[in-house]
Amino acid sequence: MTHSNHSIVALVQMRSSENKEENLKASVDFISRAADRKASLICFPEFQMAFSPLKQSPKDLANNVAEYIDGGNFVSALCRSAKRNKIGVIATVYERNKNKNEFKVYDTAVIINNKGQITSVYRKLHLYNALGFRESDKLIQGNAIEKPVSTSVGNIGLMICYDIRFPEMSRILTVNGADILVVPSAWVYGIMKEDHWRTMIMARAIENGSYIIAPDQVGNIFQEEVWLQIHLAQFSWIWETNREWMS
């Protein structure tokens, strides 16, 4: 995405593995490549840290994958990379719950500025409990909409994936100053699901007069490989009210 003020935003469309160290290495590489291409901001999809298969237990996810935001290796490494490359980063992690008696984690997005500082932490409000899925079996619901944050590309409001189905949230963010909505996503594959995805992204942009940046996972349960080869550009989107960019 290149806007009229010449800001460049990079979107990462990735297939996260179950190995968070592998995904961290790939993420740091993406950050470096985006900076080399003069991007001011790089946005990762939901579940960047790791793919959690249905067979994985909540306890395993909490103990062996999730980390705290402060002091956790995954976010700390991204902060160092953001500072080193002088680029803003929007990343997603499984955030460890401080209640050690509950083996559930937060699905969390963070904004990191180009000095390597965390400027916003958003925990997903609307968990995907639909069509046979129950994210609440492993995840904890967040309890707040975070205020938009000023960045080098504009005022950003954070949402995550299933949040896009609830228009009140995007309206609250834009009324409070967001001119860009960033929606890291892992859109589960299914009949007509891509149409839902595209329609809601366009609707949120049009009704709020804002940009939408929506990087998406591919592969695993989120996207079939054949469709990826043919329609790669249709799953991560940037929309403005009267113009469309496809990553």
Taking each helix axis from N to C end, the angle separating 167-175 and 193-208, rounded to the nearest 10 degrees, works out to 30
Give the active site residues: 46, 124, 161
For residues 127 and 88, is the Cβ–Cβ distance under 8 A?
no
Residues 7 and 159: their CA atoms lie apart, in Å, by 21
What would you measure as the largest C-alpha separation in the chain, in angstroms?
50
DSSP string, 83-141: HHHT-EEEEEEEEPPS-TT---EEEEEEEE-TTS-EEEEEE-SS----TT--GGGTEEP
H or E element: which one contains 154?
strand 154-158
For residues 224 and 201, is the Cβ–Cβ distance under 8 A?
no
* Residue in the structure block whose two tokens are 């998406």: 216
* Measured CA angle at 36 (ends 239, 78), to 5 deg: 80
